[in-house]
């Protein structure tokens, strides 16, 4: 998560002067974006002109403004129309603004919230257009960043005069609030990505960056999130919090990534589950999803644990592998011929381990080799898995199933799940939410430092 978009950062930090029109319906976050820009780029000459809230109310609504090293100059713009300053007299607001822009010390960042209210007193539309053009020219000449907030979604002459336009929107994903910002234009700036998801958590604008899977070459630390008497941790402290403390012992849990990018988020969460289990000496047994095998898992896990711990506490069952049993120390082979016999072998192996055991199964890996699309096969597999789950509930093991959308076995398992996570993609960001228990949308982010890796979740509000 970052506060301001990379493209806006480039536009507003050039010190050449930039005029930005912020559009959006009520409640989309226009004021918070404008204040966040001031916090990021505004110095001692930052000025916020508002017709919406008084200076005192602004600081009460957004207490983080007090963190600024220099107090924000907030002006109740409605009082500028009849100003005590006889130099301005009874000028219209656009005229007052033009005069102030000429006199202010440069460079400066100024917000006008809202432009609609400021110009409503001017009856002559031609005069407004002329003043807007004069203000836009003055901004470029005077190294001023000017942000104009408007609730008008229509294209007006102002759209052609300003240097940049962003549009904020809110809508729903599976009955949960989502937000997006679209960059319509940024004069002189290359727009690498024109839409981003964002959140207003904590009364601040934070954009969601594209999710990136991390391939790590050197040893790093992953946060150790302790298990409890009742739960095994996911290895992601933020995720444990939103589901009530982690994965309950004896539970069946489902994670469903909806698309290719969301699968990267799924793989990151699974990796943290495995790493966190190994770090605490908890056995982890895995049937990977399609496209993954022990070698690929090894590359992702070994930067965080020793090879000795990896081989001792992590076992991978590969279905249909052509290699012989025991060629790799922690790999068991299932031929993919008899679901009943081979899942029984899997079940027996788990029962011989000290509980609790973290069990992770990619459902797509079961679907194809065991021909589950054939009539009666789903029922047979559900019966086999029911016996497995009965064993696990009795001793307090935890099962996590990774689902591929559209698979019938997955739909059957969802009904049995204690926890049901979904991962989806929005403008190259991965969003996570739970249907059981019900949660809001959260932006998923891999945070890498020189020596650590962790997953952070930020609520979309």
What is the pLDDT, as a whole number, of residue 215?
Answer: 67
Quote the pLDDT of residue 221. 86
Kindly indicate the confidence band of residue 207, based on its pLDDT and cuts at 50, 70 and 90. very high
**Domain edges within the chain:** 6-207, 221-459
Say if residue 229's pLDDT is above 90.
Answer: yes
Which is more confident, 326 or 381? 381
Task: Label residue 86 by pLDDT band (50, 70, 90).
Answer: very low
User: Using only C-alpha atoms, what is the Rg of the chain?
Assistant: 28
Lowest mean pLDDT among 54-63, 121-130, 134-143: 121-130
Residue 28 scores a pLDDT above 90: yes
pLDDT above 50 (res 101) = yes
Q: Is 6-207 in CATH node 3.40.50.300? A: yes
Confidence grade of residue 90 (pLDDT, cut at 50, 70, 90) = low
- Return mean pLDDT, the chain: 88
Query: Taking residues 294-308, what's their average pLDDT?
Result: 93
- Check if CATH label 3.40.50.300 holds for domain 221-459: yes
In sequence order, what are the residues at sequence separation of 6 or more whose Cβ sits closer than 8 angstroms to the Cβ of residue 128?
94, 119, 122
Q: Can you give the pTM of this predicted structure?
A: 0.89
Q: Render pLDDT for 352-386 as a digit per residue (tens, 0 to 9).
A: 999 999 999 999 999 888 988 888 899 999 999 99
> Which pLDDT score, from 0 to 100, does residue 80 have?
58
**Identical topology for domains 6-207 and 221-459:** yes
Residue 328 has pLDDT above 50, yes or no: yes
């Amino acid at each position: 998560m970052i506060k301001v978009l990379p493209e806006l950062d480039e536009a507003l930090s050039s010190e050449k002067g930039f005029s930005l029109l912020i559009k959006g319906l009520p409640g989309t976050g226009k004021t918070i974006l404008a204040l966040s820009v001031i916090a990021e780029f505004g110095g001692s000459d930052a000025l916020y002109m508002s017709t919406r809230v008084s200076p005192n109310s602004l600081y009460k609504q957004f207490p983080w403004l007090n963190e600024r090293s220099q107090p924000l100059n907030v002006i109740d713009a409605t009082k500028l129309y009849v100003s005590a300053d006889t130099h301005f007299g009874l000028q219209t607001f656009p005229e007052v603004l033009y005069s102030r822009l000429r006199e202010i010390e440069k460079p400066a960042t100024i917000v006008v919230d809202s432009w609609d209210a400021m110009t409503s007193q001017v009856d002559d539309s031609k005069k407004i257009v002329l003043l807007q053009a004069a203000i836009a020219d003055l901004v470029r000449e005077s190294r001023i960043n000017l942000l104009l907030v408007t609730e008008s979604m229509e294209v007006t002459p102002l759209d052609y005069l300003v240097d940049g336009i962003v549009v904020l929107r809110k809508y729903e994903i599976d009955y949960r609030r989502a937000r997006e910002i679209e960059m319509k234009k940024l004069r002189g700036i290359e727009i690498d990505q024109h839409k981003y998801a964002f959140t207003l958590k904590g009364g601040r604008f934070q954009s969601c960056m594209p999710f990136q899977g991390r391939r790590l070459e050197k040893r790093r630390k992953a946060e150790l999130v302790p298990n409890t008497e009742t739960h095994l941790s996911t290895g992601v402290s933020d995720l444990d919090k939103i589901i009530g403390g982690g994965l309950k012992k004896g539970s069946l849990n489902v994670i469903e990534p909806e698309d290719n990018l969301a699968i990267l988020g799924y793989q990151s969460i699974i990796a943290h589950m495995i790493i966190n289990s190994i770090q605490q000496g908890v056995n982890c047994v895995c049937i990977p999803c399609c496209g993954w095998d022990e070698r690929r898992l090894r590359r992702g896990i070994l930067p965080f644990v020793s090879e000795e711990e990896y081989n001792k506490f992590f076992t991978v069952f590969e279905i249909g592998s052509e290699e012989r049993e025991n060629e790799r120390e922690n790999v068991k082979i299932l031929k993919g011929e008899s679901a009943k016999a081979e899942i029984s072998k899997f079940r027996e192996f788990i029962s011989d381990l000290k509980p609790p055991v973290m069990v992770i199964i990619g459902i797509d890996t079961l679907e194809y080799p065991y021909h589950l699309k054939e009539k009666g096969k789903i029922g047979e597999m559900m019966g086999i898995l029911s016996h497995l789950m009965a064993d696990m509930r009795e001793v307090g093991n935890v099962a996590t199933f990774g689902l591929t959308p559209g698979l019938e076995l997955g739909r059957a398992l969802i009904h049995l799940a204690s926890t049901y996570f979904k991962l989806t993609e929005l403008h190259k960001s991965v969003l996570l939410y739970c249907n059981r228990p019900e949660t809001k949308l959260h932006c998923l982010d891999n945070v890498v430092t020189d020596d650590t890796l962790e997953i952070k979740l930020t609520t979309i509000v």
